[in-house]
A and B are shown apart, each in its own frame.
Chain A
Amino acid sequence: MTSVAGAGPIEAPREGLPNSLPRPPGELERLRAAWWMPTGWRRFSAVNNTYIGVLYIGTAFVFLLLAGALALLMRAQLALPDGQLVSAGTYNQLFTMHGTVMMFLFAVPIVEAVAVYVLPGMLGARDLPFPRLSAYAYWAYAFGGFAFFATVFVGLAPDSGWFMYPPLSSRSYSPGLNADFWLLGIGFIEISAIAGAVELIIGILMTRAPGMTLARMPVYAWAMLIVGLMIVFAFPAIIAGTALLEMERAFDWPFFDANRGGDPLLWQHLFWFFGHPEVYIIFLPAAGMISSLVPAVAGTPLAGHRAIVAALMAVGFFSFALWAHHMFSAGLGSLSLSFVSAASLAVAVPAAMQIFSWIATIGRGRLRYDTQTLFLLGFLFTFVFGGLTGIMVAVLPFDWQVHDTYFVVAHFHYVLIGGVVFPLFAMIYHWLPLVGGQRLDERLGRWVFGLIFGGFHVAFFPMHIAGLLGMPRRIYTYPAGLGWEWPNLISTAGAFTLASGILLLTFDVVRMLRRPSKDHDDPWRAPTMEWIPNEDFATRSIPNVESRDPLWQRPSFVEEVVSGQHWLPGTVTGLRETIVTGARRADLRHLIILPGPGWLPLVAAFGTAAYFLLLTVKWVITAHAFGLVAIVCTIAWLWQTDRLPEATDAEVGRGVRIPIGAGGRASHSYWATVILVIVDMTIFASMAFAHIHVAMLGDTCPPLGAALPAALPLLVAGAGFVLSALLLGGCARPLATRAMSLSRALPWLTAAAALAVAAVFVLVQAHDAAGLAPRAQAWGATVAALLSYVGLHAVLIVLFAGYLVGRAGAGLLTPRQRASFDNCALLWWCGCAQGVLVAVLPHATAWAMR
């Protein structure tokens, strides 16, 4: 038995390792060649997680600085009564952009970015399973984010608050392009976040190192897994919401217009169904980081590992019931709100379990007092404080008093800065040595922490008092004599102190990155595998994991991995490879080939961002041209995938051979598509919810002046969708044993696609014949929105059919290479299912309303 200080007994190494020494000559060189990193300007085509991750983290921090600068402008304006620094209109843009940029361009991207950088190393994978998807997600975010931020400089920034409540954000009260920039501009952020979530979920479940069972998986990976799943269920609500609000603004479809049967509260439901889980989407990764950092600084394993995993799961669940606690003063029923209030209080229990576990870990270890530890302790103090005010605002009568006051501003800054930004700063001090081997300056670090921690509390604590004194949020100035002068002046002084700390940290980071890089060691004696020395191919061999804290397992572990004695110490196919393992026990399953550098994700991302932003300024033709570029690049990128080398299996360890590639449910791309199907169905469910919500508002359903379509065409349309799905399934049957020929694919897929398109046509005609008038009433608008969504799927189905016919013609649909067909089929069937549901839903809702 071996042990580390305070860590207790650790499992002894098993006899024998997957590979032996010496390694064959040339093995390492072949591995390096497969994972070559482009140089010069071609480096932008690189897709390695370590490269994309650094860019991602750096870009997110740039947005933190930019949004912070906007905050300083606001604090300068409010420092004294009757401030004249900016106008009311500019102030509206400042607070809207501050919130939007912090939440959409900093908070969500940074937590995904850190995971992109750290997780593969921590899990023992060579890279994430879809490196080009990571690159696409990053570039879409970077191009779109900077273009979106540039609206500040031309007075076109959104100005309706970061949650864009209608009717303020409707065409009547926001006639300019500002709101459109928000609605379309964050489209690429939503796409980017979901792409990142797919990548992380599949990476965590399918590419962990052999032996890393769920019980041995680091808590940070658990946190990111839960966050990935939360993104999959939360983001679709905002995608649907923004689509509906933009359709209202563009086509005058009155989803949120009370005068025409709509409901502004519908937006609030959709927004906060995303918006509240969003808070936990950014907090849980920070909690996961804390769970990784605390054992390292305390030198002892994490206390209550199982309790923390259970608490993370519980927070993930409970967070979806809290959306309406942002609507306590919106006039919903008091009993309904009490359920939400109860859930808001209940979420404190699992949150507290995590805090007690961290305190217990610190208590039983020997704490090292460096800057990362200071930020950890700062996090604990500040987050507990913010959590307690969270309990206060979860109580209905208290919330009614402080709603929309500075008390709430203080509360969520305590939670978000204390609960997310402090852990991120601790993370910088902890994990930055991974980038260039250098540590940040500890003496400077004390100043950084002092300025940030002190500045934060000086800035935000007085806001509680200002709020209790009645100061509302979002006012651009205030008169003297209300008692708000001192709290505001102190807050402004604190904000500038906080900013100086962040600038000092930025200076130190830049200075460190300019130093020559060197190999990193394990400076904190941390137990997790990201600290194993690595190169562009990650670690020399893929570790065989036998404990939860592998680097504390035995002294020789790192040396064994680095010398190539664990799994897959080279490249079998000469290509980039990583091992897929079972989701539960992480046993060997098969090898996957990963793509190398390429320009397609970058160009596709540029096309996506340009499409959304140019559509906003009504350059419709140019926008669609860029959209076409994005689609063509994506198809070209997909065309290169799903191709396996001739070899069918590979030796990854002494005498252990595993298959190369896998089809059906064993394939990682199959499960990625399943996640996309869930996203798609959740967007659809959000739109269906909008229909039901609006239908419940009226006295009759459908409302006066509207009519349901006749049953027969709906039956015909439904049958068309079902037949289309069946034809597709029939087409796939021979693929189990032989390649699909063009002569089979062309007629079957054309017929199946034609049936789906015809079904959509019949559906639209049926509603048109019934006099559907989307501009007249919200009920009609929701039906039209559902029809539009089904129409979008018909377009996708046509694209899938063309793509699959093309692959069949090129001989690329074979029993071994059938992932393209399986994945397209999943999305195709999903579109058909939605078609059937749209045919049924208006009648079913009307029947239930009776």
Chain B
Amino acid sequence: MTPLPTPAPFFAALLRGSLPLWLWALYFAFAYAGVAVGCRAGWQQASLPGGASPLRALLLVGSGLAVAAALLLVVRSLRRPATGGDDLLARVERIAAGLALIAIAWTAVPAMLLPLCQP
């Protein structure tokens, strides 16, 4: 039997290509579920120093981290040299990182500006 080459790792490549989109999904789930849980738990009350509410602080910190992580992925994907014409997922990562950054930043806008827990 002809010796077969070791299969190229597929899931690692797939994860790399889609990592920015997973980051967006994680951030969206955090923001949506965070508001639902925070409003039920009463975290919207201004109980932190400076009159901030824990829920707003949570959303701001979470949004900041997500934007920073998305930026990191953009920079990392731009710095990584292309490994050849067949490494599609590495090139997809760059575009996905840009799309994820736009989506995360856009979703973070209401988290910063809109009132919490209003029907």
Contacts and interface: CB of A to CB of B under 8 A. Distances in A.
Interface of A: 205, 213-216, 306-307, 309-311, 313-314, 317-318, 320-321, 331-336, 338-343, 345-346, 349-350, 582-585, 587-589, 648-649, 655-659, 696
B81 interface: no
B107 A342 contact: yes
A588 B4 contact: yes
9 contacts: A215-B85, A215-B87, A309-B92, A310-B95, A314-B96, A335-B35, A338-B114, A583-B7, A584-B8
Interface in B98-119: 99-100, 102-103, 106-107, 109-111, 114-119
B59 to A, nearest CB: 9
Contacts of A583: 7, 10
Given A342-B107, A583-B10, A310 B99 contact: yes
Nearest to B9: A584
Nearest to A696: B40
A659 B18 CA distance: 32
A656 B1 CA distance: 7
Nearest to A321: B28
Interface string B88-99: 110110011001
Nearest to B12: A584
Contact of B103 (A216, A346, A648, A649): A346
Given A310-B92, A346-B107, 5 more contacts: A306-B95, A331-B119, A333-B117, A339-B32, A583-B7
Most buried by A among B91, B95, B114: B95
Contact of A585 (B40, B86, B110): B86
A659 B2 CA distance: 9
A824 B40 CA distance: 42
A317 B21 contact: yes
Contacts of A306: 88, 91-92, 95
A335 B109 CA distance: 10
Contacts of B118: 333-335
A213 B111 contact: no
The contact size tier of chain B is 35 or more
A342 B119 CA distance: 18
Nearest to B93: A310
Contacts of B9: 584
Contacts of B35: 333, 335-336, 339
B92 A339 contact: no
Contact of B88 (A214, A339, A349, A587): A214
B100 to A, nearest CB: 8
Contacts of A318: 24, 103
A658 B92 contact: no
Given A321-B28, A335-B110, A346-B107, A656 B7 contact: no
Interface string B17-35: 1100110110010011001
Contacts of A331: 119
A588 B1 CA distance: 12
Interface of B: 1-2, 4-5, 7-10, 13, 17-18, 21-22, 24-25, 28, 31-32, 35-36, 39-40, 85-89, 91-92, 95-96, 99-100, 102-103, 106-107, 109-111, 114-119
Given A214-B88, A321-B28, A587-B7, A335 B106 contact: no
Contact of B89 (A214, A307, A346, A589): A214
B57 to A, nearest CB: 15
A317 B18 CA distance: 9
Contact of A659 (B1, B17, B89): B1
Contacts, number: 131
B86 A335 contact: no
B13 A334 contact: no
A195 B107 CA distance: 35
B18 A213 contact: no
Contact of A350 (B13, B99, B111): B99
Contacts of A310: 92, 95-96, 99
A343 B103 contact: yes
Contacts of B17: 313
Contacts of B116: 335
Given A216-B86, A313-B92, A331-B119, A336 B24 contact: no
Contacts of B25: 317, 320-321
B99 A339 contact: no
A583 B13 CA distance: 11
Most buried by A among B92, B118, B119: B92
A766 to B, nearest CB: 28
B107 A343 contact: yes
A724 B103 CA distance: 45
Contacts of B102: 346, 349
A309 B91 CA distance: 10
A310 B85 CA distance: 16
Nearest to B29: A321
Contacts of B28: 321, 339, 343
A345 B106 contact: yes
Contact of A342 (B86, B91, B106): B106
Nearest to B106: A342
Contact of B115 (A311, A335, A655, A657): A335
A338 B10 contact: no
A584 B114 contact: no
B86 A215 contact: yes
Contacts of B96: 310, 313-314
B7 A314 contact: no
A334 B91 contact: no
A310 B100 CA distance: 11
B110 A339 contact: yes
Given A310-B92, A313-B96, A338 B110 contact: yes
Nearest to B17: A313
Contacts of B115: 334-335
A313 B8 contact: no
Nearest to B21: A317
A317 B103 CA distance: 11
